[in-house]
Structure 1
Amino acid sequence: MSYLSPLLNRSGAVQAGGLDAGVAAHYGEPNREQRLLAGYLGKPGTAVVDLSHRGVVKVTGADRLSWLNTLSSQQVTSLPAHVGTELLLLTVQGRIEFDARVVDDGEGTWLIVERDEAQPLTQWLTSMKFMLRVEVADVSADWAVLGSVAEVPEWGQRLVWVDPWPKVGAGGYSYTAIAEESHPGFERPWREYLIPATELVDAIGTRPLAGVWAAEALRVAAWRPRRGAETDEKTIPHELDLLRTAVHMAKGCYKGQESVARVHNLGHPPRRLVFLQLDGSLHTLPAAGSEVVLDERVVGVVTSVAQHYEMGPIALALVKRSVDPDAVLSVNDDGEQYPANQEIIVATDAGQVVGRPSGFLRAPR
């Protein structure tokens, strides 16, 4: 049976679809919920978002961190307790298979993923145990996730994953052409709290709820890629600027490392993530998956769409690297055309860092 959150019983709740099926898209006031989540007039956000449809995988055992280090793109051998990071599991060709939010509590390592990836991830990790002291369990049925922009004081003892985005981590690399401090992601600090599923309703208390539409709008505005939305079977980390938070360029070997290094040092990612400011005069939004068009040529695809409470209709899209960064694009949704101004996320000349001046983009740390 598909998952349905108990919070869908709240007044006004409208269930989301797609990746977010099973939780509320909104509770009747999407714009107000977004403001309460983001915070406004200098006040921190007070709303929280039901993300209980997320998958949760727990890894225990003395070898857990060193083992995950050998498998993934991230350096986690010495990951301090309660410090959030992100890791990717890749194919030999460097394509993204899993993207996990990671936090360790000193006794176990928790991986937060999309719901339908928890079981496949558990099965794959279990197949890679060999003789190591690790145990892997899909605990999605026992644990729920709640998201917030601001810290929730009454949840101070709860385990929380703090999103490292957009700070360039140790061993990471920025593919944007803007100064790090100007990145819009800093306007969206993000936390995901792990709550026992039986305590989900009580944990909310009287705190206001925001639907996932609100969370998605803030994510898109922060240029934050999401597994299952910005990814397909061909996606490599470079295309989404994920080298900044999910890849350590100086760690030991892992599956896909050679491909990651080859594109980074000698080549260019074939596609690049862009932010689109959509024409709002149609009073509708194009669907994710709509074509991105330039001069009647299809040059990309819309991956995420949202209605932002300040900016209006916005989107993320993957386009060909060669697309003119100054061109006004058009989004085609079944014949309906939406003019779209693009804002560069991944630079058109990202990659090929061997021989580049040290100040190009952002040097590895």
Structure 2
Amino acid sequence: MSHQTGIKANEKLIKVFGKSKNGKLRVIKVSIENEELNCTATAEVKKDWERDYDKLIVPLIEESVPCYILYRLDSKTSLGYAWLLLSWVPDTATIRQKMVYASTKATLKNEFGSSHITEELHATNKEETTFDGYIRHKQDFAAPAPLTSREEELVELRKKEINTEINTDTRHQTLGGVTCPMSDATVAAIKDILNGTYDYLQFRIDLEEERIHVSKAAVVPLNELPRQVPTESARYHLYLFKHTYDGNYQESFVFIYSMPGYNCSVRERMLYSSCKAPFLDDLNALGVNVMKKLEIDSGAELTEDFLHDELHPKKFVNSRPAFAKPKGPPNRGPKRLTRPQEQSF
């Protein structure tokens, strides 16, 4: 499920997009400024696209400032020149910047024309923005076809076999699960929710690097909570449920593990399942006192009544009536006492 920010292209950028279709522009740099998509730089075609790449793109990359770069290739489609969309979102960017740029990319593509964009590249360090980084991306993209479900299961089983080589770089594996380390941004977001900056965090596992990243940090009203659960991928969620119980105001951390069934790959299901317990331990070590752990397959389950009942289960009093001896038949008359007859010998 994608959430867009409502940020749109301003008039200046729309005009640049219109001019770009004549083929003279090689590069368009787009930044989010004042809640608008704005054109912050352009460059015209100099030589062929390969020789222009580093000369025109690299100078536009700022150390900690995200941006989008649209780069015109020399190949053509039926609609005109093909374009590459480079999303530069460095690891040093703030959580808010990461979320805003991720959520606005779909809008940018629609404004420019999705059919003109034939390739996309997401870069988090400067090496990935170079021509060599682009080539490595192409090589990774051309990797062999994905394994079947059975092949993925076999690979995961082999990974879980005991490894006798132990060193400081070995990822900790136990029967309790596989530990996926948290990114620095994730740790910072957890500290922020403890300080009251947010009441909702969403976490994703990067399946390639096996690392936990924060994918959303926000203040989310309870009625909006179901919409935060993706329908195509697994996620961990941490929510501060504010409610009253027995007349007392309470704030309770609820950990939610959402897994939309078999929409996810075998590797994704196994990794999220294995990392859950160690991740909960890490949350506890950072000071998060999780009062309730839930597993769901759909956000529709996250209603106020559901969370309240999970935190405070209703106690059912045994109301079974005591056994009552049935009355005798009516009009039976008084009970007669009889004496035993004496036996004669």
TM-score of the two chains, using structure 1 as the length reference: 0.24
Task: Give the structure with the higher percent helix.
Answer: 2
TM-score of the two chains, using structure 2 as the length reference: 0.25
Structure with greater Cα Rg? 2
